[in-house]
Chains A and B, each alone.
Chain A
Amino acid sequence: MDSNQQPVLRVTELTKTYTSGGTGLTVLDHVSFSIGAGVSCSIIGPSGSGKTTLLGLCAGLDLPSSGSVELSGHELGIKSEDELARIRNRHIGFVFQSFQLIPTLTAIENVMVPVELRGGAYEPVYNLAKQLLTEVGLSHRLDHYPTQLSGGEQQRVAIARAFINEPGILFADEPTGNLDTETGEQIEQILFDLNRKKGTTLVVVTHDNELAARCDRIIRLKAGRIQSDELTRETIPAETNEIPA
């Protein structure tokens, strides 16, 4: 991995406060870190620690109360909603706990969506999607609708979809949370294999310590603050994976 390259994700003094009934509730409190290219990083913590909020802010799904998020060189806080959508489309892949496939589209059509949204020609996109579905072991399920697929198969479609736009970073929110252990392990394997093969940065939000341990780095959140940030591998260049003091 190139140690001179810029971090893919840089989070600086990120704070998110929700106001309800005149009372402010700070969910994230001055969180800072950065993650380099190709690194896998898990964010763990108990319920209500701010994991999902952090993931949402990092992926440009929400705007911070203060602080900044820089993703692939783009400062997210100053972008409009549509600009954020374009950034997500080109630089980010998502894998959700509940798969989130579009029920009216077949497996291959679901995989094609991110590239088709930018107006990609049908044929090459179809071939690429087919190749990805083959890689996740679903070459025989191309034309099946989500309701015709098992949970594990649906998540594999979601992973193929997440990789089709060759994102710089992939956010996975409890990717195995809705699956049984065996299927979960298969999904993890596919996720990490593709991550390595494509050189994508992987950010996983999870409760699962075993899954977290498979990542290069673990960020522990508690009450909206980073409790710990550890490298699980020696190979990670420290300058692109800035760990706050």
Chain B
Amino acid sequence: MNYFAIKTAWRDARSQLGSLLLYCSGIIAGVAALVAILSFRADVLLTVDEQAKELLGADLEILQNEDFSSQHIAMFDTLGGRQASSVEFSSMVVYGETGETRLSQIRGISGGFPFYGEIKTEPASAAASFQDTGTALVDRPVMRQLGLAVGDSIRVGNTSLMISGKILEVPGESAAFSLIGPRVIVPKETIEQSGLLQRGSRVQHKQFFAFDEARDVDALVASVRKAEGTSQLRFTTVESRKNDFSEIVDNLTRFLGMIGFIALLLGALGVASAVYVYIKRKSATVATLRCLGVSSGQTLTVFAIQVVAMGLTGAFAGAVLGVLIQQFLPMLFMEFLPFEIVQQLSWSSVLLGLGIGVLVSLVFAVLPLISVNTIPPLLAIRTADFSPLAHLKKSTFLWVMVMALMVVTAVLSVLTDSLIAALAFMGGLIISVLLLLGVSKLLVSGLKKLRLPGFSYIWRQGVANLFRPNNQTAVLVTTLGMGMLLIGVMSISRDMILDRIAFQTGDDQPNLVFYDIQVDQNDDIIRLAKENNARVLQNVPIVSMRLSEFKGRTIQEIRDDENNTISGWALRREYRVTYRSELNEAETITQGEWIGEADGFDSVVPISVGQQIIDELGASLGDHLVFDVQGIPIETKIASVREIDFQRPEPNFFVLFPAGVLEPAPQFFATVINVPGGADEVAAMQQAIVRAHPNVSALDIGLVLESVRTFLEKIELAVQFMALFSVLTGLIVLGSAIAISRFQRIKEAVLLRTLGAVQQQVSRIQLIEYALLGVLASLAGLGLSLIAGWFIAWFWFDLAYVPNFVSLGITTTAIVLLVLLVGAFNMRRISGRKPLEILRASVN
């Protein structure tokens, strides 16, 4: 590299190092976000590697949705190793003396599971002794919530057990598991005595194995799979569990990384804007250098060196900050992670974040940088307001833009491991940024018209300041607005998901669902509900069946076919089917004709199938399916296809039989009721039914809603944390923009003071400017998030959209206040200047 260029770059920069650092500060937050997320990912994956066996608690888990047969058990014996078994299902548990009931996740364990890691309880000895003492371990949150203590009792089905310990941690499970329902661990034989495992219960039977190190588990699984053929057994090894978990972590960190990447892009936009203002201000110097005989290449090199150094410094500062944030990031995900994260400095993540930061900031700075060469030497002798970018050739401008977008997309596709995701993301981002820029320009020009005579001078001057030359108002509104847009969309989406569920919980809507009701219990449950003034909205019979033939081929044949593309899930699943003569409100026929009545199963039964199963099976109208209804084959034909609104709380079914076929089949019932009153009445109703019929499970819609809310809030917190980096970037870019225009601001303030403005007036003018900037950014972001919200509501949730203006208003106010804070902080440096400086022109 040209020695002259290096020397000149340094000589030119040394007197303004502080300012140059400010210019590059925009990318600090973005790089920090990226490094933090990448390091966090590395930490989680490292922990998964180290604790892979604890994730499963065994070397191998074999699972089936029905009890293992004697052949299975004989086969397990041949596998050797240490073995344990469990039975897991959801059912009602009655807690304590007060008889509070909760739909709980019950596990009956027999043997030494977990073989790796341990169930942590309080007292610690309870985990080891509960099988011997015939007691129960109960999740800590529900014990706290219901005021239970060790020594109290619970009732599971017909069996009462003493609580011997509080569950603190279960290997392989995060604290968020409790959100689905309280976890209760009991000895397996208790379950067998409880009478809960009746027809209809969705039960998982698991067999756990621990082998010597030398055992090749994958080979073992392969040989068992081959021997078992079409059986319903599912196998999970340490490696497969690790891969599943890694995939979840990858997806999560990829998503959060993208949000962090937005902050980086916004920061780079801020840097590009700052570089442009810098180069514009340097026009006279560049012209002088050119007059002195410096070539255009040398001029470009001088500024390129400065910009690269700026990018490196900003990215380095961001990387350091990212490493610091990495220490705190696990706190956000604590409840979602099944282990404590092992933290260490991930150099690869730091270098990747650093490299991406430098590259992206450089790519964005190319355009202003190459505009240096448009500065004519004539400027040295003729002062004029020269805009280098405006003199750049249009074709050059376009080429650089295209190249920049390609580089950024390539970087993103490396980060996300998917070109399609990168392209979609970039497309969305470009549209968002263009919209934000458009909206901000619209708002700014609208504001310009607000300089009406009726407004005070202070107000008009505050508004006018937004149009200060080189003020970067549009870029500032865009960067700050993007933060608001991200937070807004997140908050709106959460509200909408909750609204969608709450919509179904009005006075006339179901608020309690009972299922696993046996035939002989059905009448009594309806009677009990009516006695408690509840209205029975639905009483649905359910018949379990499996698919045995599809389009004339057996499931085995289809699965053995190497060219098979049909989803294994749709072929193997246990179908829970109902029968009736009418469709309900949640169902709409999209193809064919609904036939409500049929004449037994001796002839082909016309059934209706949900669109999702049609897609999974690749089936179409008229296709024949044979179902195995507990040993009896029933031939059916797809007579109609339905769209089903599964977001409604009442039970809905993929496969619907007409009346007149399944009535004699073994079945159980689900009953949907509306209990008038509040949560207390719902709880009382629930307790009455569970006390009389312990095997019946109840779903309290209110509690479900509460769990969903808690879950969404936790997810939202993590996303908003990442979105805050965009707000932070906006604030840094604002700080940098104020610093860049500092001389102009001082000059204005001093001039006003000279003309007789008191300090308060000068301060108010500046505060109005900052407040307007914050309001504009928030409005732009808010406006777009509302439009996005409307689209989401229209296309996704299919509901009338009523945004929560209170929470959006709070975010808006917070952003305006933050902008004011940054502005006020910078005002301190301006307010102390003496008016005399205007005479000495020392502020030029």
Chain A residues packing against B (C-beta within 8 Å): 52, 55-56, 59, 61-62, 81-82, 85-90, 92, 94, 96-98, 100, 102-105, 109, 112-114, 116-119, 122-123, 126, 147, 161, 165, 173
The tally of residues in B whose CB lies under 8 Å from a CB in A reads 34
* Cβ of B343 under 8 Å from chain A: no
A117–B458 alpha-carbon span in the complex (Å): 8
Contacting residues, chain A, for B838 (C-beta < 8 A): 61, 96, 100
Contact B839 A88 (CB under 8 A): no
Known contacts A61-B834, A102-B751; A52/B839 CB under 8 A:
yes
**Nearest residue, chain A, Cβ from B471:** A104
Contact A114 B755 (CB under 8 A): yes
Known contacts A55-B839, A61-B839, A97-B841; A81/B755 CB under 8 A:
no
A62–B758 alpha-carbon span in the complex (Å): 15
Contact B839 A96 (CB under 8 A): yes
A-B contact list, 20 entries, CB within 8 Å: A56-B836, A61-B836, A62-B835, A85-B753, A86-B756, A87-B756, A88-B755, A89-B755, A94-B754, A97-B841, A98-B841, A98-B844, A100-B754, A102-B461, A102-B748, A105-B461, A113-B461, A114-B755, A117-B457, A126-B453
Known contacts A55-B839, A123-B453, A173-B839; A88/B756 CB under 8 A:
yes
| Given A81-B759, A96-B838, A122-B454, 13 other A-B residues pairs in contact with their CB atoms under 8 A | A56-B839, A61-B835, A85-B757, A94-B755, A97-B841, A98-B844, A103-B468, A103-B469, A105-B461, A113-B461, A113-B755, A117-B757, A123-B453
Contact residue among A100, A102, A117, A126 (Cβ-Cβ distance under 8 Å from B756): A117
B280 CB to nearest A CB, Å: 14
* Cβ of B761 under 8 Å from chain A: yes
Contacting residues, chain A, for B835 (C-beta < 8 A): 56, 61-62, 85, 88
* Cβ of B752 under 8 Å from chain A: yes
**Nearest residue, chain B, Cβ from A121:** B453
Chain B residues packing against A (C-beta within 8 Å): 385, 453-454, 456-457, 460-461, 464-465, 467-469, 744, 747-748, 751-761, 834-836, 838-841, 844
A97–B457 alpha-carbon span in the complex (Å): 26
A220 CB to nearest B CB, Å: 19
Contact residue among A88, A116, A123 (Cβ-Cβ distance under 8 Å from B754): A88
A134–B839 alpha-carbon span in the complex (Å): 27
Contacting residues, chain B, for A59 (C-beta < 8 A): 754
Contacting residues, chain B, for A118 (C-beta < 8 A): 756
Contacting residues, chain A, for B844 (C-beta < 8 A): 98
A61–B751 alpha-carbon span in the complex (Å): 11
- A82, A86, A112, A117 — most chain B CB neighbours (10 Å): A117
A114–B755 alpha-carbon span in the complex (Å): 6
- B460, B464, B836, B838 — most chain A CB neighbours (10 Å): B836
**Nearest residue, chain B, Cβ from A81:** B759
Contacting residues, chain A, for B467 (C-beta < 8 A): 104
Known contacts A89-B757, A122-B454, A147-B385; A117/B836 CB under 8 A:
no
Contact B839 A117 (CB under 8 A): no
Known contacts A61-B836, A98-B841; A147/B758 CB under 8 A:
no
Contact B834 A86 (CB under 8 A): no
Contacting residues, chain A, for B757 (C-beta < 8 A): 85, 89, 117
Contact B464 A104 (CB under 8 A): yes
Contacting residues, chain B, for A113 (C-beta < 8 A): 457, 461, 752, 755
A147 CB to nearest B CB, Å: 6
A68 CB to nearest B CB, Å: 17
Number of A-B contacts defined by CB within 8 Å: 93
Contacting residues, chain B, for A102 (C-beta < 8 A): 461, 464, 748, 751-752
Contacting residues, chain A, for B385 (C-beta < 8 A): 147
**Nearest residue, chain A, Cβ from B470:** A103
Contact B457 A100 (CB under 8 A): no
Contact A52 B840 (CB under 8 A): yes
Contacting residues, chain A, for B454 (C-beta < 8 A): 122
Contacting residues, chain A, for B464 (C-beta < 8 A): 102, 104-105, 109
A91 CB to nearest B CB, Å: 9
A113–B840 alpha-carbon span in the complex (Å): 22
A56–B835 alpha-carbon span in the complex (Å): 8
A184–B496 alpha-carbon span in the complex (Å): 69
B382 CB to nearest A CB, Å: 12
The 4 closest A-B pairs by CB, nearest first: A89-B756, A116-B457, A104-B464, A122-B453
**Nearest residue, chain A, Cβ from B463:** A104
Contacting residues, chain A, for B453 (C-beta < 8 A): 122-123, 126
A67–B461 alpha-carbon span in the complex (Å): 37
A10–B756 alpha-carbon span in the complex (Å): 21
Contacting residues, chain B, for A112 (C-beta < 8 A): 457
B463 CB to nearest A CB, Å: 9
A98–B754 alpha-carbon span in the complex (Å): 14
A85–B834 alpha-carbon span in the complex (Å): 11
Contact A117 B834 (CB under 8 A): no
Contacting residues, chain A, for B834 (C-beta < 8 A): 61-62
Contact B755 A82 (CB under 8 A): no
Contacting residues, chain A, for B839 (C-beta < 8 A): 52, 55-56, 61, 96, 173
**Nearest residue, chain B, Cβ from A126:** B453
A126–B839 alpha-carbon span in the complex (Å): 27
A99 CB to nearest B CB, Å: 10
A90–B465 alpha-carbon span in the complex (Å): 25
A229 CB to nearest B CB, Å: 22
A52–B758 alpha-carbon span in the complex (Å): 23
Contact A104 B836 (CB under 8 A): no
- B751, B752, B753, B755 — most chain A CB neighbours (10 Å): B755
**Nearest residue, chain B, Cβ from A118:** B756
Contact A82 B836 (CB under 8 A): no
Contacting residues, chain A, for B758 (C-beta < 8 A): 82, 85-86
Known contacts A61-B838, A104-B467, A122-B454; A90/B759 CB under 8 A:
no
A113–B467 alpha-carbon span in the complex (Å): 17
Contacting residues, chain B, for A100 (C-beta < 8 A): 747, 751, 754, 838
A81–B763 alpha-carbon span in the complex (Å): 14
Contacting residues, chain B, for A89 (C-beta < 8 A): 755-757
**Nearest residue, chain B, Cβ from A97:** B841
Contacting residues, chain B, for A86 (C-beta < 8 A): 756, 758
B383 CB to nearest A CB, Å: 10
A102–B462 alpha-carbon span in the complex (Å): 12
A169–B759 alpha-carbon span in the complex (Å): 23
Contacting residues, chain A, for B752 (C-beta < 8 A): 102, 113, 117
Contacting residues, chain A, for B759 (C-beta < 8 A): 81-82, 85
A90–B757 alpha-carbon span in the complex (Å): 11
A174 CB to nearest B CB, Å: 10
A118–B457 alpha-carbon span in the complex (Å): 9
Contacting residues, chain B, for A94 (C-beta < 8 A): 754-755
Contacting residues, chain B, for A62 (C-beta < 8 A): 834-836
Contact B756 A114 (CB under 8 A): yes
Contacting residues, chain B, for A105 (C-beta < 8 A): 461, 464
Contact B756 A90 (CB under 8 A): yes
A126–B836 alpha-carbon span in the complex (Å): 29
A21 CB to nearest B CB, Å: 19
**Nearest residue, chain B, Cβ from A55:** B839
